[in-house]
Amino acid sequence: MTSHPDLSTGPRRTIALGGAGLAPADAVAIAREDARVELSDAALRDMAASRALIESLAHDTRPHYGVSTGFGALATVQIPVEKRRQLQRGLIRSHAAGTGPEVEREVVRALMLLRLDTLATGRTGVRPEVARAYAALLNAGITPIVHEYGSLGCSGDLSPLAHCALAVMGEGRVRDASGAPREAADALAEAGIEPVVLEEKEGLALINGTDGMLGMLLLALHDLEALLRVADVAAAASVEALLGTDTVFAADLHALRPHPGQAASAANIARILRDSGLISRPGAGEFTRVQDAYSLRCAPQVHGAARDTAAHAASVARVELASAIDNPVVTPDGRVESNGNFHGAPVGYVLDFLAIAAADVASMSERRTDRFLDVARSHGLPPFLADDPGLDSGLMIAQYTAAGIVSELKRLAVPASVDSIPSSAMQEDHVSMGWAAGRKLRRAIDGLSRVLAIELLASTRALDFRLAAGAGRPGPATEAVHALFRTDIAAPGPDVFTSPDIDRAVAHVQSGRVLAAVEEAVGALA
């Protein structure tokens, strides 16, 4: 479980839904930082208008999916008016069929928020009071308990969304603002929230969306934006500590292959290395290395490809945020139409693309770490960066840890979205597996942050040996990272318990302290 902010003190930013659309940064603020939500007047008017249209169909003799029929393969069954509340209630109860570990709080909040954002478009036909109940749960810090397994990523993230809808009905289990598990009915009563009794179509509208996979994509993109800059920092620090050359990062070389991500990454590395006294630069009458190994020299190409992949994924996310995904949907001209917009393929693909990119960036990082430990490639550093090689093992097994994570990331890079398994008596015969793609991407991003942290652990330790040998001073950015690490990670000495040092390095990366230290020294990175 993630931490639970204290909602009783201090002002919280309020973000309005409806109108211009939800910004990715606002979605992350609500999911992760407990920013408040409110429904705009326009959203409430649009919801009331579409609801009136749904209610006008309630007594129509023609069947309308989700209003007067069963669901999925049971859509041919006509449901009498007096049983339609039972139909919607039963839909939520039966579809809340998740199992396995509990999903992280920020993911569940993103899931609820994005469904609420779609409700606010007025294209789903739910009553405003249903949307108000979702907003109330978010603002009260009440988080439905959602499980790892249950979504196939088609017909929406059905089971995860059903667990959320169940809580709005006052049923099932939730965690309150303090993180304590509670019965939903008790938590809602304590917060003064009236449970919702669902009417025609409303249960269906609460579960037919790509909200879980989109929420995980938005959170992943937010984290990757920082981690890919940290990857540039780590690569530059390794170039310095391995006495490499910076000539390959010149802007005119990268203009010959003008991928925007590559240019940005090269510019970051060049900026960090600009004032370094450890870089090998050609001089008259002396021999220097002409070129470094690929893991150093080609960092902008790999990091840049990951950046461009993230940019494509962000464009998909922006389209999804501007979408109204439901089935059936209320069109602007007043029709109620079945459709396939709930299929998660667009989101599932990019979630898989990002897992591939994360694995490759981590793989290159681990190769740089390994160079520090091998006397044949480290250019004068002691074996395994050990204080007394033989008596001490230094960072030998830290590299094993990085290698093990990279191996796991390669497995996580196997696409989920190429899989499909038919469901609902072959009515839903092709599914996206986008939820599974999102779940593995979260693990991949965590692994990437750990591999980068181990590389920085190695480069800062190598820097101590360079300084002791009088090889020159690093640039201000690398010096700032070194100083940060030395606040709680000891300089080289006899072997110590390594795991806590790795955890401290990971905390410096994941908290944003590494990036903040670098940008304070050399300005904002691209």
Average pLDDT over every residue of 120-137 = 97
Q: Tell me the C-alpha distance between 479 and 64, whole Å.
A: 66
Residue with more model confidence, 130 or 433: 130
Tens digits of residue pLDDT in 138-177 = 999 999 999 999 999 887 899 999 999 999 999 999 999 9
For residue 98, pLDDT beyond 60: yes
C-alpha distance from residue 369 to each of 104, 113, 350, 476 (Å): 31, 40, 29, 21
pLDDT of residue 84: 83
Q: Of 77, 46, 49, 50, give the one whose Cα is nearest residue 64.
A: 77
Using pLDDT thresholds of 50, 70 and 90, give the confidence band for residue 273: very high
Weakest mean pLDDT among 56-70, 230-244, 259-273: 56-70
Over the chain, what is the mean pLDDT?
93
Give yes or no: residues 253 and 167 share one domain: no
Of 174, 209, 244, the one marking the end of a domain is 209
Residue that is written with structure tokens 């401290």 in the block: 504
Q: Tell me the C-alpha distance between 485 and 457, whole Å.
A: 8
Tokens of 388: 């007394």
Give yes or no: residues 335 and 476 share one domain: yes
**Cβ contacts of 330-338, under 8 Å, gap ≥ 24:** 330/50, 330/53, 330/54, 330/122, 330/123, 330/124, 330/125, 331/123, 332/123, 334/53, 336/53, 336/54, 336/57, 336/64, 336/67, 336/125, 338/65
C-alpha distance from residue 322 to each of 15, 19, 181, 272, 354 (Å): 16, 10, 34, 38, 21
Q: Tell me the C-alpha distance between 160 and 147, whole Å.
A: 7
Using pLDDT thresholds of 50, 70 and 90, give the confidence band for residue 73: low
Q: Are 65 and 43 in contact (CB under 8 A)?
A: no
Weakest mean pLDDT among 168-182, 220-234, 272-286, 310-324: 272-286
Q: Tell me the C-alpha distance between 201 and 67, whole Å.
A: 5
For residue 77, pLDDT beyond 80: no
Average pLDDT over every residue of 190-214 = 95
Average pLDDT over every residue of 27-39 = 97
pLDDT of residue 83: 82
SS3 129: helix
Of 173, 191, 209, the one marking the end of a domain is 209
Give yes or no: residues 198 and 324 share one domain: no
pLDDT of residue 8: 53
Give yes or no: residues 150 and 250 share one domain: no
Does some domain include residue 25? yes
Average pLDDT over every residue of 322-342 = 90
Please give the span between the terminal C-alpha atoms of the chain, in angstroms, as a whole number. Answer: 32
For residue 283, pLDDT beyond 80: no
How many CA atoms are closer than 13 Å to the CA of 485, on its beta-carbon side? Answer: 33
Give yes or no: residues 298 and 237 share one domain: yes
Average pLDDT over every residue of 45-70 = 83
Does some domain include residue 373? yes
Weakest mean pLDDT among 182-196, 350-364, 426-440: 426-440
Does some domain include residue 4? no
C-alpha distance from residue 26 to each of 47, 114, 142, 324 (Å): 22, 11, 19, 18
For residue 288, pLDDT beyond 80: no
pLDDT of residue 56: 86
Tens digits of residue pLDDT in 106-126 = 999 999 999 999 999 999 999
For residue 72, pLDDT beyond 80: no
Q: Provide the residue range defining the domain that includes 372.
A: 217-522
To the nearest 10°, the Cα dihedral for 117, 1, 99, 210? 20
Give yes or no: residues 136 and 248 share one domain: no
Does some domain include residue 1? no
Give yes or no: residues 190 and 329 share one domain: no
How many whole angstroms from its chain centre is CA 226?
11
Give yes or no: residues 97 and 232 share one domain: no
Domain count, the chain: 2
pLDDT of residue 227: 98
Using pLDDT thresholds of 50, 70 and 90, give the confidence band for residue 287: low
> Which CATH number does the domain housing residue 133 bear?
1.10.275.10
For residue 7, pLDDT beyond 70: no
Using pLDDT thresholds of 50, 70 and 90, give the confidence band for residue 440: very high
Give yes or no: residues 205 and 225 share one domain: no
Q: Tell me the C-alpha distance between 343 and 339, whole Å.
A: 10
pLDDT of residue 1: 39
501's enclosing H/E stretch is helix 498-510
Using pLDDT thresholds of 50, 70 and 90, give the confidence band for residue 240: very high
Does some domain include residue 473? yes
Q: Which one of the listed residues 65, 134, 149, 294 is annotated catalytic?
A: 65
pLDDT of residue 474: 96
pLDDT of residue 415: 96
Does some domain include residue 268? yes
Give yes or no: residues 285 and 391 share one domain: yes
Q: Of 225, 371, 230, 387, give the one whose Cα is nearest residue 307.
A: 225
Give yes or no: residues 184 and 251 share one domain: no
> Which CATH number does the domain housing residue 325 bear?
1.20.200.10
pLDDT of residue 2: 47
Give yes or no: residues 415 and 512 share one domain: yes
Residue with more model confidence, 402 or 424: 402
DSSP structure class, residue 266: H
Does some domain include residue 9? no
Average pLDDT over every residue of 266-279 = 96
Q: Are 158 and 149 in contact (CB under 8 A)?
A: no
Of 184, 209, 234, the one marking the end of a domain is 209
Does some domain include residue 3? no
Q: Does 400 participate in catalysis according to the annotation?
A: no
